[in-house]
Amino acid sequence: MMRKSVCIVGLLATVMVATLLLSAGSPGSSANTAEPASAEVKVDNFSFGPATLTVAVGTTVTWTNRDDIPHTIVSTDKVFKSKVLDTDEKFSFTFSKAGTYPYFCSIHPKMTGSVVVQ
Ligand SMILES: [Cu+2]
């Protein structure tokens, strides 16, 4: 009796180890989907929305000009700089280092925003 139950426990343990090995071995897509790889900032009505965006390291941020006036996205610390974006034009930048990245519109310098990368 005792021997049989030990045997079942051993079998269960073997199955569990095998399952763990199988799930660890497959290059799962679930591991990297926990944090968003992209984020959006809308440029509209002379402002950035959200004005402060917090993202994880490695995130690509895309600004889209929803205004009917041209704007630019220029990093205060010269990390990135867009061309003049007309209506519905986009600019993307991938943040590979943690930090705070303030930016502004060079046409309307009172338009400011920042991206916090952590
Ligand atoms: Cu502007």
Whole-number pLDDT of residue 10: 54
Check if the beta carbon of residue 53 is closer than 8 Å to that of residue 38.
Answer: no
Which of 11, 45, 44, 41 lies closest to 116 in space, CA to CA? 41
**Residue 117 Cα, ligand 1 centroid: separation in angstroms?**
23
34: amino acid identity, one letter: A
Check if the beta carbon of residue 60 is closer than 8 Å to that of residue 92.
Answer: yes
**Residue 59 Cα, ligand 1 centroid: separation in angstroms?**
24
**Residue 104 Cα, ligand 1 centroid: separation in angstroms?**
8
**Residue 112 Cα, ligand 1 centroid: separation in angstroms?**
9
Tell me the pLDDT of the chain (118 aa) as tens digits.
Answer: 555 555 555 554 555 554 444 445 444 444 455 555 999 999 999 999 999 999 999 999 999 999 999 999 999 999 999 999 999 999 999 999 999 999 999 999 999 999 999 9
Supply φ then ψ for residue 78, to 5 degrees: 60, 35
Check if the beta carbon of residue 88 is closer than 8 Å to that of residue 64.
Answer: yes
Task: Map out the domains of the chain with their CATH numbers.
Answer: 38-117 (2.60.40.420)
Whole-number pLDDT of residue 72: 98
